[in-house]
Amino acid sequence: MKNLAIFLITFTLCATSLSAQNEKFQMAMGKALGQMSAAKGPEDLKNTANTFSRIASAEAAEWLPQYYAALNHLWAGYSIMESNMTEAQALAKTALSEIQAGQKIAPNESELVALEAFAYQLQLLEDPMTKGAEMSGKIFATLGKAESLNPANPRVYYLRGNFTLNMPEFFGGGAAKAAPDLQKAVAAYAAFKPASAFHPNWGATEAGELAEKVK
């Protein structure tokens, strides 16, 4: 009975500690996601990425902070690539490091793999003529892996459709080639339910707009 009492006290203390830790993580994530929603430009996005990086440092077992740090770095990179491609490429490299850190925690997470392809797309844009052949194959292969891990992930179809749409037709791109993926994206977004309020749930509006564009 004494040993059972000690076990129950220990279990209760651990459970209370874990509950408090989980609550702290949820509060930090909620605040950071609010910061992300309010971001108005690349500096805001980079600041938000730094916020998620701090959460990642404190929550070593969670992949979501690494995911969002990378996503914000990529959005910042895409937004400045026309004015500062050098920094955009540095942001892509940083994002890939964050994605890889997340993959060590969740190696079979489709969202991280899809985001990896999004980072490769930004790297390709540094020099499409030189990098196009090699990087295009890598992007399609990575998105194929993300699809195999979770066929219900709408960001796979949105990212592939968007990439295909912007490829030259003589390389297999264009509206007609992109349409099937963009239509799949719209259907997948309609059916998609994120695992929690913190899980990725972006791209639906953009996918719908592109799907209308290629009809």
User: What digits encode the pLDDT tens for the residues 126-155?
Assistant: 999 999 888 999 999 999 999 999 999 999
Question: Buried b / exposed e across 148-186, counting CB within 10 Å, b at 16+?
Answer: ebbeebbbbbbbbbbbbbebeeeeebbeebbbebbbbbb
Q: Cα separation of 6 and 65, whole Å?
A: 36
Q: What is the mean pLDDT of the chain?
A: 90
User: What digits encode the pLDDT tens for the residues 45-95?
Assistant: 999 999 999 999 999 999 999 999 999 999 999 999 999 999 999 999 999
DSSP-assigned letters across all residues of 130-165:
HHHHHHHHHHHHHHHHHHHH-TT-HHHHHHHHHHHH
Q: Specify the DSSP class assigned to residue 40.
A: -
Question: Buried b / exposed e across 35-56, counting CB within 10 Å, b at 16+?
Answer: bbeebeebebbbebbebbbebb
Of residues 1 and 197, more confidently modeled: 197
Model's pTM, two decimal places? 0.89
Give the three-state DSSP class for 200: coil
Q: Specify the DSSP class assigned to residue 170.
A: G
Start-end of H helices in the chain: 2-38, 42-58, 64-80, 85-105, 110-124, 128-149, 154-165, 175-191, 204-213
On the 0-12 / 13-18 / 19+ scale of CB atoms within 10 A, 88 is buried
Cα of first residue to Cα of last residue in the chain, in angstroms, is 72
Give the three-state DSSP class for 209: helix
For residue 6, what pLDDT band results from cuts at 50, 70 and 90? Answer: very low
CB atoms closer than 10 angstroms to residue 14: 10
